Structure formats: C-alpha cells, structure tokens
A and B are shown apart, each in its own frame.
Chain A
C-alpha cells in the first residue's frame, strides 16, 4: 500500500519540478498577500491604539500567523484538477484501474503542494526573523503539538473541500465562479484576513456552525495564547468531526456524480 501511494506522490512531486516558473509565481503571490495585509493594518493603527482589544503588535502577529497557517494548509485550487479529470474524461482512465479515485486524488493533491509547502516554510522563517521582537506566541510543547495536529486536520479539511467542489464538475461545466466565491468566503470565515471577532456578533455566532473558523482562527488564537489548551482541544474535536462529515459527503456525492458521468459518457 505504501509503495503504491509513494509511487503516486513521487510522480506528482517530479511533475511539480517541471513547472519551476509556476512555483516561483505562487511564492511571490503568497508573500504579496501578507505584505498587503500588514500594510493595511499598519495604516489603520496609525490612528487607533486598539481594535477590538488587539494592539498593533497583537494584530500584526495575528495576521502573520494566520497567513502562515493558511498557506501551509492550502490546496492551491486543486478543485480545478478534479474538474479537469471529469470534463476531459481522463477520469475514465482511473476508473478502469484497481485504484480508488478518491485516494488517488488525495495522494496527488498532497504531493502537489509539497514543494510549495517547503517554500512557505522558508518564507515563514524569513518573515518571523523580520518581526522577531514584536511577535508574542506560545512556546509550550503541548500547545505546539496540539497546534500541529490541528493544522494537519485543517489541511485535510481543505483537501476534502477541494474534492467536493471539484465534484461539482459532474453536473456543471463551469466551476470557476463557485470556486472563487467559496475561496473568498472560506478565507473570510476562517479568520485568514482578520480575527473573526471583528465581525458583527450574529456572523461570529453563525461561523461556529461552519468548519472554516476551526481551520485558522482557533489554531492562531491557541498559538497566540488567547484561548486555553482545553478550548483548543475542543476546537480540535470539532475539526475532526467536520473531517468525518466531509468525508461522508464526498462518498455520497461521488456515487451520484459517477452515475451522471456514466450517463453522459465521455
């Protein structure tokens, strides 16, 4: 089993290396987002001392960690790959092999971000050293372990969401619009751009019923020491619950989608 998935992943990583220019482009894009956010908040804090209880340093710290965590766990629009398999009919090639498509695609998706992941680590190290003095964060081993676990789950939630959005291609020929809307919505509701608490109360309450807030906001709060370890554990539990739910939905959508795929017959 290991041989099979490491073969799949090895191929995808090799393929990544053939697109060196693309990797550089993504790296530049990543940093640009962080620069934009820090610039905005720096300007805001020129005329205010505190926003919803966050001082300038705390806010910059939030933004940097939210940026770091979100780029470590993104799938870089993997839904497009799945949509392409469906629309071009290359899904058929995999259907006839003794290989589960969902597992295959999970392996490919994970290998696909591996190179970008390393680059984000390097970018993160550079950014942290730049802001060394002003960042406040936890250095408890238990907290860091909990954080890492949450981030791993966050990645898989993002992967499952990508797969689900990709599966929309079974019924729709254009998924770009849906993808774009969902991307911005999820970044918004996960607290990637700013702490969720800045939103009106009813929206904050609503966000707790979606998976997004648990993917970035909660881990960052944990790391910044703004929530307790116990609350972090609770957040992890809900994350895992969402993971299971999403997997279940994937299985159901897959079955219906495949029926549609077969009836159209590419």
Chain B
C-alpha cells in the first residue's frame, strides 16, 4: 500500500464576521469562534500505480485531504502514511518522492521563464544533471511545450502555464503525484491534452496518482476507481462502472419517431418518461428490462425512426448522490 489513510479528520477554526459597521466595531472586543469540520474520519488505501479520482462538490474536503497527505496541514485526528512516511512530519526523504500540483496556485516564478523555475526545482530536489535532462526532454515532448520554456510565465496562457506547472512538479520523478483540480479553468482542448498526458504518464511510469476534481469528465476519462467525498465523508469508494450500477439501477432509452410522432399515452406504459416531444422521447427503464422494452417498442406499431439504449449520465448519478446526501 502506497497511501494509507485511517480515520483522518481536519477541523478548521475561524471567526464569524457579521456584516455591518456596528458588528465590525463589536468584533474588536468579542468574536465568535466557529469550527468547520472539513474532513471527518475518512479511510482509504491506494496501491502503487493506481490512478484514483477524488470527486466531490466544492467544500467537500478534497483539497484539505490532499494538503494533509502533502504535509502542508496537520490533521486534527487520525493517521495517514504515504510511502511509509507520515506526511506532516515533512521529512525531506518523503518530500523528494512526491509532488503536488494545485490548479489554482502557481509554484512557478511569475516574472521569469519557466525554465528558470525548473532549474531551481532541480537544485531543491537534488536531481542530477543527467536525470534532469532526460526527464525534462521526456516531459516537454509529451506536453509539446518546447517553444514556451523561455517565455515569462506571466505571458503564457492558462493552458501553457498548467503544462509548465506539471513539468516543474515531475522533474524529480516522484512516485506519488497529487493533482488538485488540474484542469480547472482550461478550455476543452487544453483539458483533453492534460488528461491524455496524465493517463500516458501514469501508464508509462506507474506513478501513483490521486486526482481531485469536480469535473466529471476528468474522472470519467482517467480513473477506474473513484472516491466520492461530500461534506467531509466518503460516500463511495470503488469502481466507476459499479457506481452507476449501484446508484442508477436503470438505463435510458432515447427514441425518435418519424412522421407525426406519438402521443404521451402511447409510450407511458413502457417506462418512466423523463422527456417528451412528439418526435422524440427519453424513457427510463429498469436495467434488466431495458432490452425487452426496446424489443417491444420496435415490434409495436409506433413509427420508430431510431433507438438508443444508453447509460445514465454519470454526472446525473453523482448529482443524485450529492442531493440525497444533502437531504439526510
């Protein structure tokens, strides 16, 4: 086991700030201290080479968990071990073996070309000249940023900057990579590039990768295993495919009709009609019955033009999970 987390919790302290001028004056003398339980007794284990997605809405505790595993934050209670080390002890031996890339916080020097930050990291992580050259070339090749290395970081586009951040983090060939919202704010093309890179890098180097995101696409494309966290608790840990089967025991039939189409009464008996237009309907049917229903509709006298049997959108599943969780 590369990463082991046991009953890990983190509670933040903060002061309540009431709006208004009088409240600000009152605040000089007395402030109410509040607690936010960001992470509540989470447990999970990750093996070497796994690419695990950490999915959850904003404020779920994803970033806090990553920060604890990086040693930036001290937990309120619980244990964690990464590569055999306790992260918050911040042992240099551990630090040289992992990397954290935060999509919203740059580590590159803003006013200098990315190359200068790379060289600095080389010295800080004590990477040999030969390894540095080899790793740099490999990464630059994979990410296609050769022309960008000598341009001031502040002049780069967000996508280019993100690629450079990844290079800076991977120069010392870490065994564990934590990615916090790596595709946030990027356009569709850049998102795909980053995802492809992560996938390829994980495949080639067997790097253990833990990635947080609130973009369903990231998780869908990259992760076989997904850990869903909401309000500080893990509500699902397992295969993405199984997630859909567990939380969405139905399939979706999308049927289009020719001519004048159909009437609602005609199709209601086949299943749950979630979307109706005379020429096109969406039908929710129990998973086991989906094929039979499709066969029935095709062999009926309804003017079917096209039929599609589809999985429920993962995002719909996840949304349902979160809203169920919120109701509880």
Contact = CB atoms under 8 A, between A and B. Distances in A.
A263 interface: yes
Interface string A3-40: 11001101100110011000000000000000000000
Contact of A4 (B64, B117, B123): B123
Interface stretch (B108-116, B205-213, B303-311): B108-116
Given A97-B124, A265-B64, A11 B116 contact: yes
B123 A7 contact: yes
Contact of B70 (A11, A14, A96): A96
Interface of B: 10, 12-14, 38, 64, 67, 70-74, 90, 92, 95-96, 98, 100, 105-107, 109, 111-112, 116-117, 119-126, 152
25 contacts: A4-B123, A4-B124, A7-B120, A7-B122, A8-B120, A11-B116, A14-B116, A15-B109, A15-B111, A18-B111, A18-B152, A19-B111, A90-B106, A93-B106, A93-B107, A95-B90, A96-B70, A96-B90, A97-B95, A97-B125, A98-B124, A262-B72, A265-B10, A265-B12, A265-B73
A138 to B, nearest CB: 42
A84 B52 CA distance: 34
Contact of A96 (B12, B95, B111): B95
A89 B105 CA distance: 8
Interface of A: 3-4, 7-8, 10-11, 14-15, 18-19, 89-90, 92-93, 95-99, 259, 262-265
Contact of B124 (A90, A99, A262): A99
B38 A96 contact: no
Contacts of B116: 10-11, 14
Contacts of B95: 96-98
Contacts of A96: 70-72, 90, 95, 98, 100
B105 A90 contact: yes
A263 B67 CA distance: 12
